[in-house]
């Protein structure tokens, strides 16, 4: 029986082992006296989509915040264990801003900047020193296209991003996350404010994006994980119940009955 923590989706016979893009070992997180992640361990390979599923309050969003260290903004949060990105422990990195440029983050609900559509996408590249107008134009168009928004806004790029509909603002948030060309993209319930047709368009984009980046997909839509993820992790009450190849997780015989019950809608 293969180790479910070892991803084999890109392995070939005789190929050297792949160094994890993200490695988590014995990660514990507490808010004050309440521990919400209980010593979890897993890894993610380069160019893999890892789906993270589980009921509300299971620690899914908190896990993402540990990876890109936005957990630092919560004064009561205390972590222990190891979280590595490209072999470096993020908890000891001094260049936190560099880490966050490497890791794009999309929240469940859109958080638009009070700027034009164009400037929303160009904000991070400009902050990083990009001033060439032609390169900025190309980047803005590419990111809006990847977020399935370009055709709807290309004639009004000077309009305020906050005037867009909720679904459009969420896609603008995705475009903004892609604008600094991250190596890792963290998606936290990205489709909660998007209609099903647009969701499917973005899912197609994500399948293309994994050629160039690693994706962590937190979703309450278990079928979305089934469609997109190479492997899926079932997180419940701060513990990993099961992590395996997605096709195995959604088969009739996952290793843990709780997994079967959750992916089949019996609870959750």
- The tokens for 107 are 């929240």
Distance CA 160, CA 116 (A): 4
Largest CA distance in the chain: 56
Q: Which of 225, 192, 37 is nearest to 106 (CA)?
A: 192
- Is 17 part of a structural domain of the chain? no
Partner residues linked to 31 by β-bridges: 34, 77
pTM (two decimals): 0.87
- The tokens for 127 are 């902050």
- Is 3 part of a structural domain of the chain? no
Domain span at residue 111 reads 22-263
Domain total of the chain: 1
- Is 207 part of a structural domain of the chain? yes
- Is 156 part of a structural domain of the chain? yes
Q: Which helix (H) or strand (E) holds 77?
A: strand 77-85
Q: What is the pLDDT of residue 224?
A: 95
Partner residues linked to 197 by β-bridges: none
Which residues in the chain land under pLDDT 70? 1-17, 268
Q: What is the pLDDT of residue 16?
A: 53
Residue 211: CATH number of its domain: 3.40.50.300
Q: What mean pLDDT, rounded, does the chain reach? A: 89
Going 138 to 143 to 151 to 168, the CA torsion angle's sign is negative
Q: What is the pLDDT of residue 214?
A: 96
- Is 9 part of a structural domain of the chain? no
Q: What is the pLDDT of residue 166?
A: 81
- Is 111 part of a structural domain of the chain? yes
Q: What is the pLDDT of residue 113?
A: 82
- Is 40 part of a structural domain of the chain? yes
- Is 132 part of a structural domain of the chain? yes
Asked if 121 and 172 touch (Cβ cutoff 8 Å), the reply is yes
């Amino acid at each position: 029986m293969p180790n479910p923590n070892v991803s084999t989706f890109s392995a070939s016979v005789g190929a050297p082992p792949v160094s994890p893009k993200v490695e988590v070992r014995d990660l514990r997180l507490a808010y004050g006296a309440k521990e919400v992640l209980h010593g979890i361990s897993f890894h993610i390979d380069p160019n893999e989509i890892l789906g993270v599923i589980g009921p509300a309050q299971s620690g899914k969003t908190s896990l993402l915040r540990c990876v890109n260290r936005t957990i630092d903004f919560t004064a009561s949060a205390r972590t222990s264990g190891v979280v590595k990105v490209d072999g470096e422990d993020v908890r000891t990195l001094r260049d936190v801003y560099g880490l966050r440029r490497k890791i794009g983050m999309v929240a469940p609900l859109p958080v638009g900047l009070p700027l034009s559509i164009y400037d929303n996408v160009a904000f991070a590249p400009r902050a990083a020193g990009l001033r060439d107008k032609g390169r900025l134009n190309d980047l803005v168009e590419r990111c809006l296209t990847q977020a399935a928004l370009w055709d709807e806004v290309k004639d009004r790029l000077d309009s305020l991003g906050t005037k867009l509909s909720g679904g459009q603002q969420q896609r603008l948030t995705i475009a903004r996350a892609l604008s600094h060309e991250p190596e890792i993209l963290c998606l936290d319930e990205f489709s909660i404010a998007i209609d099903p047709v647009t969701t499917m368009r973005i899912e197609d984009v994500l399948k293309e994006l994994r050629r160039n980046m690693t994706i962590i997909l937190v979703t309450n839509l278990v079928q979305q994980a089934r469609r997109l993820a190479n492997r899926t992790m079932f997180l419940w009450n701060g513990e990993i119940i099961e992590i395996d190849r997605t096709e195995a997780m959604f088969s009739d015989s996952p290793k843990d009955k709780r997994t079967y019950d959750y992916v089949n809608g019996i609870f959750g």
